[in-house]
Amino acid sequence: MILFQMRSIPAVLLILFVFWDATNGFLIQSSNKLFSSQAPRGLHLKRQTSPRFQRLVTQAKLGAIIFACDGVLVDSERDGHRVALNAALKEVRPDLECSVEEYGRLLQVRGEEKLSRLWDEMGWDGMNMDLAIQIYNRKSEIFTKMLEDKKLPIRPGVLSLVDEAIAAGIPLAVCSSNTQKNVELIIESMGPQRAKHFSIFAGGRVVHRKPSPDIYNLCKGSLSLHSEDVVIIEDDLVGLQAAKAAHCACLITKSTYSVNDDFKTADLVVDDLKKGEVDLNTVSRLPLSMVGVNA
């Protein structure tokens, strides 16, 4: 073991331990981080590119990836709930169908009076609260059956990022206000070899829902994670607010009904993980502990 003092950072002396690995070359390690940055001036090390080294570096940068569920893993409102609503409508009002745009309007409305006015605007003559409740309950049953039958497509880019994280040994979790059963079904639709790597924190585990950070704080505490080493992937403003209240970096992958949200406090915003070319290297640069350090 050779001891060096790194004097290139003003007012700070970093004591680094340099180990020689007969297979992979030099590894530069501090007490709790691995750096792939340039060697101290005057010290010439072999550039390290082996898969084993890259895995160690990624692990040092990234404590965990925490996914929201609805809107992130699946576009559940557009591809799930809306589809289930139309199936339920056909059973009692085959003349009615809810478009993508109309469903987005329904999501924004609360209260019987406002709903009645919107139904009139949409041409849903004869719709009332009793019938709406009947349709809603049936929609929920159909949606659950869709999950059991794995009918909701996983959003683009999710599986490749999950596979990279698993290969690198990065902990994975899902935090959602959805039910435990529904979240489990969505995770299981990725395949058993992926599902077994996820920790799930779902509805009922905390009192306050997002934008409260409670579900993320529960996850961090349960998995012994530090906020500054975590990246949360969300899809809407409420989720972003929860992630930031938990003092974590947040990557936004927009969903169908969140494209107009204000994401200015997000660390990275993409339309989806595939279009944004988001891979593990991208995510590993986002933790707050890496700001200004090898980022």
- pLDDT confidence of residue 61: 73
Largest distance between two CA atoms of the chain: 82
Count CB-CB contacts under 10 A for residue 261. 18
- Label residue 120 left, alpha or beta by phi (over 0 means left) and psi (-120 to 50 means alpha): alpha
At CA 277, angle to CA 274 and CA 279, rounded to 5?
Answer: 100
- Whether the predicted pLDDT of 27 surpasses 80: no
252-282 pLDDT, tens digit per residue, is 999 999 999 999 999 999 999 999 999 999 9
- pLDDT interval class at 11 (50, 70, 90): very low
- pLDDT confidence of residue 290: 62
125-170 pLDDT, tens digit per residue, is 999 999 999 999 999 999 999 999 999 999 999 999 999 999 999 9
- pLDDT confidence of residue 288: 79
| Among 1-15, 151-165, 234-248, 260-274, the least confident range | 1-15
Percent of the chain topping pLDDT 90: 76
Residue corresponding to tokens 């409670």:
214
- SS3 (DSSP) at 239: helix
Give the whole-angstrom CA distance, residue 48 versus residue 232.
29
- Whether the predicted pLDDT of 59 surpasses 80: no
Count CB-CB contacts under 10 A for residue 90. 12
- Whether the predicted pLDDT of 22 surpasses 50: no
- Whether the predicted pLDDT of 95 surpasses 50: yes
Query: Strand 2-6 and strand 14-21: pairing?
Result: antiparallel
- pLDDT confidence of residue 6: 37
> What is the arithmetic mean of pLDDT over 50-71?
74
- Whether the predicted pLDDT of 5 surpasses 90: no
> What is the arithmetic mean of pLDDT over 212-232?
97
- Whether the predicted pLDDT of 12 surpasses 60: no
Q: Answer whether 71's CB lies under 8 Å from 77's CB.
A: yes
- Whether the predicted pLDDT of 7 surpasses 70: no
Count CB-CB contacts under 10 A for residue 267. 21
Task: Return the structure tokens found at 119.
Answer: 């139904």
- pLDDT confidence of residue 60: 55
- pLDDT interval class at 204 (50, 70, 90): confident
